[in-house]
């Protein structure tokens, strides 16, 4: 009888579940966004919308459509409009572009609500993408087109919202690649780098 109790006691390990027999293989952590992260996302998105709308307003009030001002080298401020998405694609399908943009923004908010704590760069990266998307979406709904003005001659003209979207997506991809690379390193190597 004593021998059986000793054997059972030896099977119980530190870090086991409440039944004392099944070892815990993964630590759970909450990935949903916290209020400070939502605040960061909202601040970045609102700043992006404000900057984009302000620059478009300045361009439309100072330059007539198709007018341009040379700045330096191949760069000029060129007032053009675009009823499609990037580079003039889907120019005749504004309502579809509006619908797809709205769905994309809704999906990004859902993703952030569920995974906002996954990486510290997510609030900024998604804030830039959402801010740029919402600013261009606002113009499409209100005007039927977006105003583009940053022209590098050999590249279709674009605006600040487009820039925010590209920078946000690039930051998001780099963060996810870095996070994936970090999690794929062997456990011993990760523990050795801890302070």
Q: Is residue 105 assigned to a domain? A: yes
Residue 146 has a pLDDT of: 93
Closest to 120 measured CA to CA, from 190, 181, 174? 174
Residue 13 pLDDT exceeds 80: no
- Catalytic-role residue among 52, 139, 148, 151: 148
Side by side, which strands form the sheet with 68-72?
68-72, 75-82, 146-151
Quick one: pLDDT at residue 189?
Answer: 54
The catalytic position among 52, 139, 151, 162 is 162
Confirm whether 49 is domain-assigned.
yes
- The verdict on residue 17 lying in a domain is no
Is the predicted pLDDT of residue 168 greater than 60, yes or no? Answer: yes
Domain containing residue 162: 30-193
The percentage of the chain sitting over the pLDDT mark of 90, rounded to a whole number, equals 47
Q: Is residue 15 part of a domain?
A: no
Of residues 27 and 48, more confidently modeled: 48
pLDDT score for 195:
58
180 is catalytic: no
Written as six digits, the tokens of 71 are 């700045």
CA distance 157 to 66: 11
> Does residue 120 fall inside a structural domain?
yes
DSSP letters, 79-138, are: EEEESSSGGGTTTT-HHHHHHHHHHHHHHHHHHHHHHTTS-TTHHHHHHHHHHHHHHHHH
Write out pLDDT tens, residues 38-56: 999 999 999 999 999 999 9
For the question of residue 162 being annotated catalytic, the response is yes
Number of domains forming the structure of the chain: 1
Question: For the segment 57-108, what is each residue's pLDDT rounded down to a tens digit?
Answer: 999 999 999 999 999 999 999 999 988 766 556 666 678 888 888 999 999 9
The verdict on residue 149 lying in a domain is yes
């Amino acid at each position: 009888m004593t021998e059986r109790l000793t054997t059972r006691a030896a099977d119980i390990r530190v870090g086991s579940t409440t039944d004392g027999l099944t070892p815990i293989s993964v630590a759970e952590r909450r990935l949903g966004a916290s209020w400070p992260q939502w605040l960061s996302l909202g601040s970045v998105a609102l700043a992006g919308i404000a900057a984009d709308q302000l620059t478009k307003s300045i361009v439309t009030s100072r330059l007539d459509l198709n007018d341009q001002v040379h700045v330096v080298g191949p760069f000029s401020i060129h007032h053009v409009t675009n009823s499609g998405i990037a580079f003039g694609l889907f120019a005749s399908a504004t309502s579809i572009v509006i619908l797809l943009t709205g769905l994309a923004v809704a999906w990004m908010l859902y993703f952030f609500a569920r995974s906002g704590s996954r990486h510290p760069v997510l609030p900024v990266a998604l804030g830039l993408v959402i801010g740029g998307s919402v600013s261009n979406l606002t113009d499409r709904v209100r005007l039927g087109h977006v105003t583009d003005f940053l022209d590098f001659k050999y590249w279709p003209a674009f605006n600040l919202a487009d820039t925010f979207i590209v920078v946000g997506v690039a930051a998001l991809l780099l963060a996810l690649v870095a996070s994936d690379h970090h999690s794929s390193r062997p456990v011993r190597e990760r523990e050795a780098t801890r302070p």
